[in-house]
Structure 1
Amino acid sequence: MATGTVRYWAAAKEAAGVAEESFSAETLGELITQIARNPRIEQVLRRSSFLVDGAPAGLRDPATIDLPQGAVVEVLPPFAGG
């Protein structure tokens, strides 16, 4: 089980109530499922894109994206104008 940090930006930060927090998950899909347990952030996650150690997850299935030990995952909701 990898551990790391998830960082929230803009609306995701507001919905999560924190700027960042620690996680323990094997894949991005598992992490998203854990985060989505907070009903305030679930809708934001559906519209968000994700970076894993600075690399965009893109349209890949999050369940297929392994998280390395010490990973930084950033949750990026749509920003104004895009």
Structure 2
Amino acid sequence: MPFTRRFGAFNPAELEIIQKVFDRLCDERRLAQNDIDQREELAAEVIHVFQQGRTAEADLWRSLSERRMAQDSPLPDLQERG
């Protein structure tokens, strides 16, 4: 189902999905209530991915969780070989 919005607002079902995913990611990342900047950044990211069409709760969470894992994984050793 494509993403739908009315007058720039989310409907209650969409808000519930966004909130659940946001809460779960905050728990995973151990973001405290006072980590305001990080929480705002995460909220913006959750909303952005939702607006891009990842509207199913599991899909939205998986997308953001995988994105985080990719950011945390070390880069391969790029030493010059000679």
TM-score (normalizing by structure 1): 0.27
Which one has a larger percent strand, Structure 1 or Structure 2? 1
* Higher relative contact order (CA closer than 8 Å, sequence separation 6+): 1
TM-score (normalizing by structure 2): 0.27
Which one has a larger percent helix, Structure 1 or Structure 2? 2
